[in-house]
C-alpha cells in the first residue's frame, strides 16, 4: 500500500514543510478524496451559477466550505510528495566500516564544508543485509529519530531486496538525492576466498562472488533506484545539487596503474564496476535532466576488508573510516554533471582508468 505524509504550512515564504508529527495517509484514500473533491467543486460551481442567497450567513457558509476544499487540495498535494523537499541519501552497506562512517557524517555533522549545505540535516537511509543485527545503526536511530534515519534491508546478492527497498523509498519519500554503494568483498574467513597472488590460486567461485558483489551489486542498485533519482533531477529547483550515484571502486582496478599483478578476482570485479558505471553515465547523460555517476577510491582504510594487509601500508596511509568517508563527502558535495563518469580518490584527484 502506498503511504503519504500530510504537510503543514509553516514556511514564511508560503512553502509547505514536513512536521515531525505528520499524519500518514494511504494513497488510495488520497485518490478517493481528490475524486470527491473534484465532483464537489463541479457541483458547487454549477449550483452557484443560478443561486440567489437569502442571507449573508448562507454566503458565508458556502465560502467556508470552499475554503475547506482548497485546504484539502493543498494537503493532498503534499501527501503525494509534491512538496517533499529535504535531502535524502541512501548508504548501501552501512552497518560497519566506511558505510557506517558515511551515515554518521551525514547525521552528526553540521560542517557544510564536509557534507554541503544542501545535505545537512537531511534523511539518511541506511541499508545492510541484516538490519536486526546492526547495533550501531539502531543506536544512531535512537539518537536522531526515525525522521532522520531509516534502516532497510538490502542484500546485493538478492535483487528482490533491492527492488523492494526502491519501491519503499519511492512511496515514502518521493525523492532520492544521493546513493553511495560501499558493500564489497575481498576475502572471506577460513580461506574460502583470498586475494590471489598467483594464477594457480584462481578460484572461479570466488571470482563470481567478487563480480556479483563488487560490480553487479552496484549496477542493480542503479537499475532500481535511478528511476526515482531521474525524477528527482527533473523536479529539483535551481541551485539544488545534481542527484549522484557514487560507488566505491579501488585504485587496483586501474589497468594503467597495474604494475604489481595479483588479486585477479578483486581487480577484475572493480574494473568491471568502472566500465559499467561509465556505461550508465553515457546513458543518463542523454536525458533531459541527468543524474551523475561517479567512482571513488577511499584509500586504504582500517576495516575488516584491509585487516590482513595493514602491515604493508606505509605510515600515515592507513585511514580511519571516519577520515576516509569525510574526505569522500567533500568530493561528492561539489559534484556536477561535468564530473559524471569520472573516478576520483579521497583527495579529489582523478584516478586513471
pLDDT (tens digit, 9 = 90+) per residue, 200-211? 999 999 999 999
Least trusted range by pLDDT, from 55-69, 72-86, 207-221 = 72-86
Task: Please say if the pLDDT value at position 93 is more than 80.
Answer: yes
Calculate mean pLDDT across residues 123-139: 96
Nearest CA to 181 out of 86, 265, 294, 65 is that of 294
d(CA 342, CA 137): 31
Regarding whether 156 and 121 lie in a shared domain, the answer is yes
351 occurs within a structural domain? no
pLDDT tens figures, 44-59: 545 544 444 444 555 5
20 — pLDDT class (breaks 50, 70, 90): very low
H or E segment and range at residue 180: strand 178-181
Selection from 11-20, 100-109, 129-138 with the highest mean pLDDT? 129-138
Calculate mean pLDDT across residues 127-146: 95
Calculate mean pLDDT across residues 146-155: 96
Domain CATH code at residue 113? 3.40.50.720
Question: pLDDT at position 56, please?
Answer: 55
R_g of the chain, CA atoms, integer Å: 25
179 — pLDDT class (breaks 50, 70, 90): very high
Regarding whether 27 and 142 lie in a shared domain, the answer is no
> Within a 13 Å sphere around the CA of 263, how many CA atoms are in the beta-carbon half?
19
Share of the chain above pLDDT 70, in %: 69
pTM of full prediction above 0.95: no
Regarding whether 315 and 218 lie in a shared domain, the answer is yes
- DSSP for 73-117 reads HHHHHHHTTTT--S-EEEEES-SSHHHHHHHHHHHH---HHHH-T
Angle between helices 159-173 and 217-235 (to 10 degrees): 20
Regarding whether 17 and 137 lie in a shared domain, the answer is no
Find the DSSP H helices in the chain: 27-49, 56-79, 97-108, 112-115, 135-144, 159-173, 204-211, 217-235, 264-285, 321-332
70 occurs within a structural domain? yes
325 occurs within a structural domain? yes
Residue 116: C-alpha distances to residues 17, 87, 226, 233 (Å): 20, 11, 22, 18
Question: pLDDT at position 310, please?
Answer: 65
Last residue within a domain, chosen from 30, 55, 79? 79
Regarding whether 199 and 74 lie in a shared domain, the answer is no
Task: Please say if the pLDDT value at position 76 is more than 60.
Answer: no
352 occurs within a structural domain? no
Tally of structural domains, the chain: 2
Task: Please say if the pLDDT value at position 178 is more than 60.
Answer: yes
Nearest CA to 329 out of 352, 342, 348 is that of 348
Calculate mean pLDDT across residues 163-183: 96
Nearest CA to 249 out of 234, 267, 236 is that of 267
353 occurs within a structural domain? no
Regarding whether 185 and 68 lie in a shared domain, the answer is no
8 — pLDDT class (breaks 50, 70, 90): very low
Nearest CA to 224 out of 159, 268, 148, 314 is that of 159
Question: pLDDT at position 185, please?
Answer: 87
pLDDT tens figures, 249-259: 999 999 999 99
Task: Please say if the pLDDT value at position 194 is more than 60.
Answer: yes
Give the residue with greater pLDDT, 122 vs 295: 295
Regarding whether 186 and 72 lie in a shared domain, the answer is no
Residue 225: C-alpha distances to residues 87, 89, 107 (Å): 15, 12, 22
Question: pLDDT at position 40, please?
Answer: 56
Give the residue with greater pLDDT, 350 vs 72: 350
Regarding whether 40 and 148 lie in a shared domain, the answer is no
Calculate mean pLDDT across residues 93-102: 95
Last residue within a domain, chosen from 79, 113, 135? 79
350 occurs within a structural domain? no
Regarding whether 215 and 149 lie in a shared domain, the answer is yes
Three-state SS at 242: coil
Q: What are phi and psi of 341, to 5 degrees?
A: 85, 10
Which residue's entry shows cell 585511514? Answer: 319
Calculate mean pLDDT across residues 103-112: 80
Regarding whether 180 and 31 lie in a shared domain, the answer is no
Last residue within a domain, chosen from 50, 79, 108? 79
Regarding whether 309 and 238 lie in a shared domain, the answer is yes
250 occurs within a structural domain? yes
Nearest CA to 25 out of 182, 221, 200, 172 is that of 172
Three-state SS at 8: strand
Question: pLDDT at position 53, please?
Answer: 40
Question: pLDDT at position 254, please?
Answer: 94
Regarding whether 257 and 314 lie in a shared domain, the answer is yes
Q: Which range of residues forms the domain containing residue 68?
A: 3-79
Amino acid at each position: 500500500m502506498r503511504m503519504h505524509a500530510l504537510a503543514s504550512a509553516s514556511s514564511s515564504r508560503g512553502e509547505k514543510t514536513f512536521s515531525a508529527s505528520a499524519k500518514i495517509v494511504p494513497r488510495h484514500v488520497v485518490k478517493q478524496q481528490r475524486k470527491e473533491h473534484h465532483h464537489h467543486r463541479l457541483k458547487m460551481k454549477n449550483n452557484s451559477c443560478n443561486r440567489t442567497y437569502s442571507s449573508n450567513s448562507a454566503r458565508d457558509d458556502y465560502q467556508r466550505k470552499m475554503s475547506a476544499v482548497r485546504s484539502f487540495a493543498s494537503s493532498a498535494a503534499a501527501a503525494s510528495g509534491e512538496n517533499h523537499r529535504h535531502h535524502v541519501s541512501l548508504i548501501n552497506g552501512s552497518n560497519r566500516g566506511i558505510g557506517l562512517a558515511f551515515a554518521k557524517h551525514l547525521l552528526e555533522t553540521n560542517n557544510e564544508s564536509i557534507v554541503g549545505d544542501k545535505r545537512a540535516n537531511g534523511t539518511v537511509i541506511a541499508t545492510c543485509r541484516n538490519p536486526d543485527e546492526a547495533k550501531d545503526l539502531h543506536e544512531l536511530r535512537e539518537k536522531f529519530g526515525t525522521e532522520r534515519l531509516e534502516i532497510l534491508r538490502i542484500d546485493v546478492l538478492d535483487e528482490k531486496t533491492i527492488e523492494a527497498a526502491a519501491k519503499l523509498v519511492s512511496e515514502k519519500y518521493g525523492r532520492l538525492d544521493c546513493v553511495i554503494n560501499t558493500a564489497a568483498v575481498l576475502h572471506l574467513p577460513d580461506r574460502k576466498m583470498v586475494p590471489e597472488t598467483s594464477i594457480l590460486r584462481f578460484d572461479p567461485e570466488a571470482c563470481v562472488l567478487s563480480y556479483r558483489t563488487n560490480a553487479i551489486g552496484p549496477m542493480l542498485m542503479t537499475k532500481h533506484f535511478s528511476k526515482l533519482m531521474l525524477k528527482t533531477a527533473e523536479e529539483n529547483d535551481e541551485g539544488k545539487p545534481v542527484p549522484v550515484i557514487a560507488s566505491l571502486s579501488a585504485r587496483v582496478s586501474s589497468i594503467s596503474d597495474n604494475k604489481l599483478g595479483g588479486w585477479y578476482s578483486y581487480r577484475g570485479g572493480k574494473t568491471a564496476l568502472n566500465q559499467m558505471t561509465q556505461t550508465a553515465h553515457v546513458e543518463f547523460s542523454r536525458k533531459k535532466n541527468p543524474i551523475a555517476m561517479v567512482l571513488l577510491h577511499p584509500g586504504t582504510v582500517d576495516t575488516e576488508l584491509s585487516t590482513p594487509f595493514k602491515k604493508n601500508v606505509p605510515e600515515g596511509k592507513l585511514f580511519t573510516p571516519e577520515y576516509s568517508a569525510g574526505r569522500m563527502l567533500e568530493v561528492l558535495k561539489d559534484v556536477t554533471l561535468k564530473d559524471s563518469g569520472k573516478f576520483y580518490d579521497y583527495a579529489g584527484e582523478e584516478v586513471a582508468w
